[in-house]
Structure 1
Amino acid sequence: STLNQNQPAATPPSRDINTLNKEEQNEYTNRFVGWAIHDVYSHWKHDDLDINKCHSTMEFMNGMKMRHDIALLDKLYMKECYSLSDQIHNRGGLTLVSMEYFEFGRKLVSKIYKSFNEERMNNDGNDSLKNAFNEVVGDKELKLCFLHSDKTTNLKEETKIEIMKTIIRKTMHAMSKQVTKRYNEEYTGHYSKNGGDTALRQKLKANSQLQSAKKKLELDERTKQHKKQKKDNYSGK
């Protein structure tokens, strides 16, 4: 089957580890990050009313993409970035990530793959995706890699960061579907390996309740400290 931008998908690694090899990184980068870039580009192009900002943003984001026909002529890109699977199935419908941003793409998919996994879902329950996103979007190495990928643009850094965060969010949401599917196959349904749907719901509910209890304790403590501070100020301490 051919690849297109409406169906960001990659073959999940068969082994149960939290790292991707180079071929998998390349495949995930073009299929997930490439799709995210295409989606952000399309929405920004139609939603931004500031013509000058829109033009500079489009120019910046064009530098993040590589055309399929150009990639075929680039021996280094074909060797280092274009996975064999994508070379076979892509007929021009897949947005490829440019050489300048490919290292960022590799880092991004690797960090997402390591951050959002079945262990995270077990531990964080309903907050798993949010916590994973906050972890990845706050990664300083990833941020610096993105900002240093293209030093020729004069686009404001705050706009670049806004674009980066949106790309991270869209990439993570697309990749998370694989993890969720594997998790459901493992823990839910009649033929699951580790229990039924009821047990999973109870586990997620318990994890969610635990997180809520922790947040309530933190809020109560802050309220207590705030009241004490007001009392101390009132008494002149």
Structure 2
Amino acid sequence: MTLLTLLVAIGTLVPTADLSISAPVAPPLVAQERDDAVASAAQDLIAEFDAALAAYDARYAAADREARKELRDEHPAALFWQRFDDLAGRGSWRAVLWQVEHVRHGGLKSKERRAFAKSAFEGLRQTQVREPAFEHVLNAAREHRRSIGDELYVRMLTDAVQWNPTERVKACALFNHGLVLVEEGGDSLRRGLTMLDDCAERFGNLEYGRRAKEEAFATRNLRIGGTAPDFAIQTFEGETFRLSDHRGKVVVLDFFGFW
């Protein structure tokens, strides 16, 4: 069963969902029992591909201009595509993400690649949203956000917060959703900051929580047109320079060092 066949099968099991966030959310499908053999096969195939890609890159770097034109048609991703497609059909999320990353080598026309990526991530949302591996899926979705669209991306984030029991996945989703809202600005800015604050408070022991705290601080204090945070330093003359004492004046900060 190929990836596309698998996604069609998923579509027959689950009614087409309204992806608007205000719509009622139905519980996503629970992934089938993990298949250790499939997981191991995917890891081995990725390692084999990485080795082939390294060899190809070395050949490409050493080739002249004419030879490089021929090598472009010999990219190892094209040779590995069917093997990854077989694993994707057997339920390997790693294989699906590999295909999304290398879809330009899968024989699809340019107009079909975006639809392929969107279908792939919709399938992963349905089957992997409760799994710890969904963290990897969310991070990959962020990289392909333009292809899949914000509607599906945000649905993946909200589903992860609601349905995934793993702290890392929840933190990842909360952090990235906060960034999306901050990026939108306007009325969404306050919601985004609240989400980042929540992530920082709940998951401060994880890198997502620490990054959320940093992003919230930067958004509040380091935006163009915003008010710079106050600070105090000792000058070479031993006096105290406090930024707030110079409000309304032009202050130039010169950062330098010796290396």
Q: TM-score range by the shorter chain?
A: under 0.3
| Structure label with greater radius of gyration | 2
TM-score (norm 1): 0.24
TM-score (norm 2): 0.23
Identify the structure with the greater helix proportion: 1
Higher relative CO (Cα under 8 Å, sequence separation at least 6) belongs to 1
